[in-house]
Amino acid sequence: MFSLYDCHIKRQTTMQRTNYASGAKWEDIVGYSRAVRIGNLVEVTGTVAVNEQNEAVGGDDAYLQTKFILQKIEKTLEKAGARLSDVIRTRLFVTDISRWDEYGKAHGEFFREIRPCTTMVEVSRLIDPVFLVEIEATAIIPEP
pLDDT band per the 50, 70, 90 thresholds, residue 9: very low
Q: What are the pLDDT digits (tens) for 24-70?
A: 777 889 999 999 999 999 999 999 999 988 899 999 999 999 999 99
Q: For the whole model, what pTM was predicted?
A: 0.87
Tell me, what DSSP letter sits at residue 144?
-
pLDDT band per the 50, 70, 90 thresholds, residue 107: very high
Q: Is 139 helix (H, G, I), strand (E, B) or coil?
A: strand
Does domain 9-140 fall under CATH 3.40.50.720? My reply is no
DSSP letters, 4-70, are: HHHHPPP------EEEE----HHIIIII--SEEEETTEEEEEEE-SB-TTS-B-STT-HHHHHHHHH
Domain range annotation of the chain: 9-140
Closest CA to 36 of 28, 45, 47, 27: 45
Whether the Cβ atoms of residue 72 and residue 45 lie closer than 8 Å to each other:
no
Supply the pLDDT for residue 13.
Answer: 54
Query: Left (φ > 0), alpha (ψ -120 to 50) or beta: where does 60 sit?
Result: alpha
Q: Is the pLDDT of residue 141 over 80?
A: yes
